Amino acid sequence: MRTALTPDFYQLFAVLLVVAVAVLFIVAAVAESLYERLLSQWSPHRAPSVGTVPNVPDKGRTASPVRRTPVPR
C-alpha cells in the first residue's frame, strides 16, 4: 500500500525544518559564546615575561645561530 503525501505534510515538514535549523543556530551561538567566555577566564590578557619565552631578545641580543656541519651528498 502506498500512501500519498498531502500538501499539509509538506507544509508541516517545511515549518519543522526551518524551526530545527533556527534552534540549531541559536544553540550553536550560545555554546560558542559560553566557550569564548570560558577561554577568556582561563587565559590571562598579559604578555609573558622575557625569561619564560625562549629566543626572545634579552638586552638587545638574540640567541646565537646553531652551527651545523655540512653533510656530503
Rounded Cα distance, 19 and 13, in Å: 10
**Which residue, 34, 38, 39, 56, is CA-closest to 47?**
56
Domain ranges of the chain: 9-42
pLDDT digits (tens, 9 = 90+) for 17-68: 999 999 999 999 999 999 998 888 776 665 555 555 565 555 556 666 778 8
pTM: 0.51
Phi and psi at residue 67, to the nearest 5°: -95, 120
Residue entry with cell 626572545:
56
CB contact at 8 A, 56 and 50: yes
Confidence category of residue 72, pLDDT binned at 50, 70, 90? confident
